[in-house]
Amino acid sequence: MYNKNSKTSQNEASEVKQKKYLRVIADMRPNAQIIPLKIVSDDGREFIIQNVFNIVRIIVEDIGEQCMAYYMVVGGKRKVIYLDKNMQWFVI
């Protein structure tokens, strides 16, 4: 018997995530640490990053790539953006 729900969840589980590249204004410190200051949307709106509370090197399993993860607060909400080896900012 065909179970529509189980087929849908199998498709969702095998879905490959894609990077969405971002325009980010950042500060490069003398010690080579990069701190993002604001995110600029495609339509030009700017979102101030209120606090970066953690920066870690991780492997993003969704894309199988090593990068830096920046955990932050934007608009009062916790968010994470990534910086890849090509120095491009993105979200998943």
Whether the model clears a pTM of 0.85, i.e. scores above it, the answer is no
What is the CB neighbour count within 10 angstroms for residue 22?
Answer: 18
Asked if residue 84 belongs to a domain, the reply is: yes
Asked if residue 4 belongs to a domain, the reply is: no
Domain coverage including residue 39: 18-91
Would the pLDDT of 8 be above 50?
no
pLDDT per residue as tens digits for the range 79-92: 999 999 999 999 99
Asked if residue 9 belongs to a domain, the reply is: no
Signed CA dihedral, 51, 56, 57, 63: sign only: negative
Q: Could you give the number of structural domains in the chain? A: 1
Asked if residue 13 belongs to a domain, the reply is: no
Asked if residue 33 belongs to a domain, the reply is: yes
Asked if residue 7 belongs to a domain, the reply is: no
Phi, psi of 9 (to 5 degrees): -70, -30
Would the pLDDT of 3 be above 50?
no
